[in-house]
Structure 1
């Protein structure tokens, strides 16, 4: 990477007058997004809830999900307190920045938690309303309610993300980028925990329910005789709704952080405001897109209406961003230098900014289409996976894995083309190039409101079908509507995972530039940066040469952490699912009359197992994400740490797409067979696709999605600790013993956490819930079902 100069020009940047007014307008629009969310909540809750039986089942899901999230937030409170004081201890320009960074870390974590909780809270109230609408009014009304539910989560995501960033800019002005590092870190860390914990919960219940119910007992997926059904429906909400909402919120926050950090150098004070204007436009177009999703009689499925809203939102965003760029930005970089930007760039800033945003929107649109092609039942890849079910589960597994591997290449090529295309726009100025990458990320953010709505649509539809099946109060026509919506929901979930991966890569690439700036700023303070002839100093000038063994080791370590993280997440699901399988088997064997419908399963016990196991698995991935960059950086230096991030970004991108698309294809191949193809339900082909879907569950809903926040957490940790690594490596503050001690402690913590995770055995007998550190409130919450 070309060399960056070694210090910020913060003193030359001011935020006054019209710029300050614009930031206030951004904050007001963010509050407006929350008001729109309130309107949508009223619309959703005004819909009918169906029969008393449907209400009773929905209430059990509501109480189980609320109990789980309450316990999860209490568990994560300790992590937040520790991180708060660690951030206070890290060096910063002054104590005002240190305190602000720590306080806004808590705000970022809090906003991420609120976004996830709101998503879950409304989803568990909407599911029964979608089921009732499908039974009473048909597909159009049911689709509308499900998507408006997602619209609420979308509005909270863009509203809180934009509100937090604008508050930081208003409070700290030119020092806002440093404080925003804490805001982004809080959002990313909490999202990763919610993604991992919720993902383990939902897939442990889902896998356990499928293995005993569908495979062993040959009963439907959401049959009320299966003790894991309530836990499965709870898991859809704590994993897919709460987890994904927090995930996309932190993508939103971290991309804004990267854009504002780089914008102040590339565009001066205007670079501190324009990255807020673009997502503000996204708030407005998200409202348009959400209300545009209204199914028409000629639509083949609900996917047509959803695509229509997405494309309308994207098109309007491009037009409005063009107007904003040509209205707000000057026509030459010479004018931007007067606003505090670095000299040396050429071209028209308005055109460069607009094309950057268009690239981001284009990446979102193309990822949406590409992911849909590989995971939708209407296209050849999923149809081919469905055909392989005729020769057994082994060929289903092989075809799904090959599909995921292939699709990862195309997605990575598409994301890479977007990143490199944006980078080229900067020409000779590395700062403008990196800012263009960040602006491509903000362009993608203009579609996030609709994307979040698409994602929430999936679990709401899935839960609606489950409630309908468990209650037995929905007509055959209504059941067909819900089955169709569930298949569409599988596709929308896969699409949003693909787009979330793209945002992670764009944000991580932009943060990588911020990381290098932090390194060189610290090196400049140590007064060693100009001495490029000194080998001990070369790495601080941005020369990350992988021929250096230290850097090559860092690169391999970054790639290895992604594999280790994924393996631990999948293994955690396997352990928890094993316990669920034994518990469901025990209930079938010991509780009289379950299969005949006269005995009532103990749903709360399975909820308790999933709660306990998912929460105890949170420690290892969290410590791995935070400690691994510290261990590499303090032991091998910032050059190796930069290579570590490169390895994690590259491997994480491919791994996340592979896991998400394989799982999505297996899931919809099962839906294809259940719709009557290749023998239909109960056939050998159906059993083969159930196995594929079961394998794919932790792929697409646990390990794959959790890689996105993992990448950004590691980038932000590296950004935060880089100045300390430099200060302890060179100059008058060099302290090799302290570096060695810090790296040794970090390595020991990683080794202990992995060992602690691995020593937990796979279940070989039914466990008794309620013993030890269990979530007793979950057990009681659903006991009345």
Structure 2
């Protein structure tokens, strides 16, 4: 077992201290946010209803996920490993899941208090700057918490388990990724069901504004922003942080021994400093766009991150691979300078984040050509809006995937052709990208807070025209920042998945070596083909096809779930307008709680199917086809996943901001046919950008981590023995039955749209002037 020296243990201890300081900074920032004005009693009442709905949803979701976590905790003990590692991995799984849930809850709980504060300052002098500052600092609280808990978890495991830390951290990353995926899917279904229902009935049928208090779905819509975008995305970025750390520690230990284990922690610790700096320096100056201020803060922080990471690397690593204690045989004779190689990899990661920030902003921003084109097509109807948005999504996916691929190629060239070093450097590039994660989380949280602030202001009716415009501008900025963070999240997912791919290969190699040492030989023929990585092997190509198909199936399940839940909301809101005509005149109060309850029940009911598919599909492929085809499965998942996630996120972002352009007065403005067309485009894009697209990020990592965990067992059961084959095939059949059974049940599940009476479904209220 790898032993850590006194110097390394001291450094890891200091890093744990940095993590605690990051959490203290988060507490201080939280106090600053809560010290702001809370607005009028009416504003506080509306914000209180949003907070109550969000708290109730997350409590019910955590009760549901708690059962699932206990089951997985028990199943981890069935995987081959030393008992101490099994216990540590299972406990680390619970900590990873708990930290992910805590980050999500923290993001939601503060956001629902910050929204009313942003709305309250919108009409005061300098309201744009003050409101943007409150929203960004709220995100800064979550960002510092992500950095603090991620570092604390990883450093704590290294201090306790030393050389066994990489194996134990597999559980930590798996717990974080699994919870994040569930929170992403559940929150995404909730928020988009409410959003689609509110838009279709309120805007299109009744002709009333988006956040009009007469719409029964408005509170649910604002609740959804918090449980989906705040809680879900915060958990997603935390698991990205955790999984990249896990992959880099595994590969670093294999490549550079003790120093390879500690180095990724040093690089990510730099992110704590960068995050604090980014929150402090991001200020809106005068009448400038909030996006300009956020971009400026990001790029300055990124440059500082490069400098600090370079200084730390130069101080910690020697200038020759031969001087590194415990370096692998392959790298011992490497002629490159490890200091410069590592710094270059970190720079690649940080530059990748900056390029994706710019590129995503270009494809989704309100001032960019692609989004303006989508808005212009509204003059010819909803169909052309949908088609143009799809075109933007497809194009942006190609550019983004190409940039990520170029970054991976650059890292490979930096490694001098060494595959194992290249994989470690890919993980370090991910660590470099995530030195900016604190600011990325702040950018993401900015979106739902500004959206909610606009809703609170409109429902209260207590913000003047100038203040309303300030909130509209902040909301448009928030749409772009949310799209940007989704682009960066998928880039992180690809880097993490590529690094985990290397970790998977390392696990398989060690498992095969153990079998060889025990005097057991692998057979040829079919069994031999199961452990080969030859891409020209038909069975490996089958794995590639199945991996890509799983991404499509997962996305389809998520969008179908939103369709069913949104249908229920549409019929409920229509019913309230029909049965309570006094709603439109203000005599009757809509039943907001009823819509929140429908969203909660439907989203939790739909939660299990995507999760079971993600967890059991790789088990079925691995035990059924072997470790070689499972590697192909992962490759197919990564390839299809990056393209699908970017397509869904950017097309949805373009549709959303195209609607904003029309609402600002272009092509007829609010209430025009062009506006109705962009609303349709926006409702199509809602489940794209906020449900299916973002959920692909944790999906990729969950399936990679499951594969990494089961790889030794798959190899052991691939040894030529009749009993082994029977067990292996039985496991594969059971896993496939669970995954496909969940899909079958989901497909047979009927929603309100399927069962509604024809007369009721056509009983649509006529538009009413607001």
1:131 counterpart = 2:115: no
Match of 1:97 among 61, 64, 85: 85
Query: Which position in structure 2 is the counterpart of 1:6?
Result: none
- The answer (yes or no) to whether the contact 1:345–1:432 under 8 Å persists in 2 is no
* Aligned counterparts of 2:625 and 2:46: Cα–Cα separation in 1: 55
Report what 1:564 is aligned to.
553
Bigger Cα displacement from structure 2, 728-737 vs 345-354? 728-737
- Residue of 370, 380, 391 corresponding to 1:402: 391
Matched, 1:253 2:245: no
Q: Which residue does the alignment assign to 2:614?
A: 625
Q: Distance in 1 between matches of 2:326 and 2:51?
A: 56
C-alpha deviation, 1:265, in angstroms? 1.5
**Corresponding residue number in structure 1 for 2:220:** 231
Decide which of 64, 67, 76 is 1:78's aligned counterpart: 67
User: Offset at 1:339?
Assistant: 6.1
1: CA distance between counterparts of 2:526 and 2:158?
37
Distance, in Å, in 1 between the alignment partners of 2:726 and 2:89 is: 28
Task: Identify which of 21, 37, 45 aligns with 1:32.
Answer: 21
Deviations 1:520-554 (A, max 9, x none): 1111111089979955676687x522322211111
- Retained in 2: the 8 A contact 1:555–1:644? yes
Query: What do residues 349-382 of structure 1 show as CA deviations (whole Å, max 9, x unaligned)?
Result: 0001000000000100000000000000111000
- Cα 1:561–1:589 change in 2 (3 A) is same
Shift of 1:432: 1.3
- Could you tell me which residue of structure 1 aligns to residue 739 of structure 2? 750
- 1:307-706 equivalence runs, <5 A: 307-338=295-326, 343-527=332-516, 534=524, 543-706=532-695
TM superposition shift of 1:426: 1.9
Mark the CA change 1:244 to 1:357 in structure 2 (over 3 Å): closer, same or farther. Answer: same
Q: CA contact under 8 A between 2:529 and 2:539: conserved in structure 1?
A: no
Q: Distance in 1 between matches of 2:41 and 2:477?
A: 27
Is 1:306 matched up with 2:290?
A: no
Distance 1:578 1:494 in 2: 26
Q: Is the contact between residue 582 and residue 766 of structure 1 (CA under 8 Å) also seen in structure 2?
A: no
Count of residues paired in the alignment: 754
* Cα distance in 1 between the residues matched to 2:412 and 2:719: 31
Q: Aligned partners of 1:630 and 1:533: how far apart in 2?
A: 22
Match of 2:158 among 159, 169, 174: 169
Cα distance between partner residues in 2 of 1:344 and 1:205 = 60
TM-score (norm 1): 0.94
Whether contact under 8 Å (1:153, 1:245) holds in the other structure is yes
Q: TM-score, normalised by structure 2?
A: 0.96
Find the partner of 1:114 among 95, 98, 102.
Answer: 102
Aligned residue in 2 for 1:773:
none
Q: Is the 8 Å Cα contact of residues 93 and 172 (structure 2) preserved in structure 1?
A: yes
CA distances 1:286-341 after superposition (whole Å, capped 9, x unpaired): 10011111111262x10011011101110000001111111110000001145677
Which position in structure 1 is the counterpart of 2:767?
Answer: none
Alignment of 1:267 with 2:256, yes or no, is yes
Using the alignment, how far apart are the partners of 1:611 and 1:485 within structure 2? 28
Q: Aligned runs of 1:64-75 on 2, under 5 Å?
A: 64-75=53-64
Q: Please tell me whether residue 279 in structure 1 is matched to residue 273 in structure 2.
A: no
Q: CA deviation at 1:592?
A: 3.7
Structure 2 CA distance for aligned equivalents of residues 661 and 764 of structure 1: 28
Structure 2 counterpart of 1:59: 48
Distance in 2 of aligned mates of 1:733 and 1:156? 51
Mapped to 2, the partners of 1:539 and 1:510 lie a distance apart of 24
Cα deviation for residue 421 of structure 1 reads 1.2
**For the residues of structure 2 that align with 1:179 and 1:563, how far apart are their CA atoms?**
32
Which runs of no fewer than 5 residues in structure 2 stay unpaired?
758-770
For the 8 Å contact 2:527–2:720, the answer to whether it is kept is no
Query: What is the DSSP-based 3-state SS (H/G/I as helix, E as strand, rest coil) of the residue aligned with 1:135?
Result: coil
Q: 1:506 to 1:734 in 2, by over 3 A?
A: farther
Q: Distance in 2 between matches of 1:478 and 1:274?
A: 48
3-state SS, counterpart of residue 595 of structure 1: helix
Post-superposition offset of 1:750: 1.4
Question: In the alignment, does 2:141 pair up with 1:152?
Answer: yes
Report the counterpart of residue 284 of structure 2 in structure 1.
295
Cα shift at 1:703: 0.1
Go from structure 1 to structure 2 and tell me whether the alpha carbon gap of 1:254 and 1:475 turns closer, same or farther (over 3 Å shift): same
* Deviation, structure 1 residue 427: 2.1
Answering whether residue 233 of structure 2 is matched by residue 241 of structure 1, we say no
- In 1, distance between residues paired with 2:536 and 2:140? 49
The answer (yes or no) to whether the contact 1:332–1:348 under 8 Å persists in 2 is yes
CA contact (8 A) 2:620 2:731 kept: yes
Alpha-carbon distance in 1 for matches of 2:329, 2:166: 15
Q: Note the alpha carbon deviations across 1:380-437, whole angstroms, 9 max, x for none.
A: 0000000000110000000000000000000000011111211222224332111101
Separation (CA, whole Å) in 1 of partners of 2:374 and 2:93: 44
Question: In structure 2, do the counterparts of structure 1 residues 571 and 540 end up closer, same or farther at CA, with 3 Å as the change threshold?
Answer: closer
- Runs of 5+ unmatched residues, structure 1: 1-10, 769-785
The answer for the alignment partner of 1:7 in structure 2 is none
Looking at structure 1, the residues matched to 480 and 195 of structure 2 have their Cα atoms a distance apart, in angstroms, of 18
Aligned equivalent of 1:735: 724
State the match for 2:11 in structure 1.
22
Contact 2:523 2:720 in 1 (8 A): no
Q: Using a 3 Å threshold, how does the CA distance of structure 1 residues 201 and 315 change in structure 2: closer, same or farther?
A: same
SS in 2 for 1:267: helix
8 A Cα contact 2:245 2:265, kept in partner: yes
Distance in 2, matches of 1:354 and 1:546, equals 32
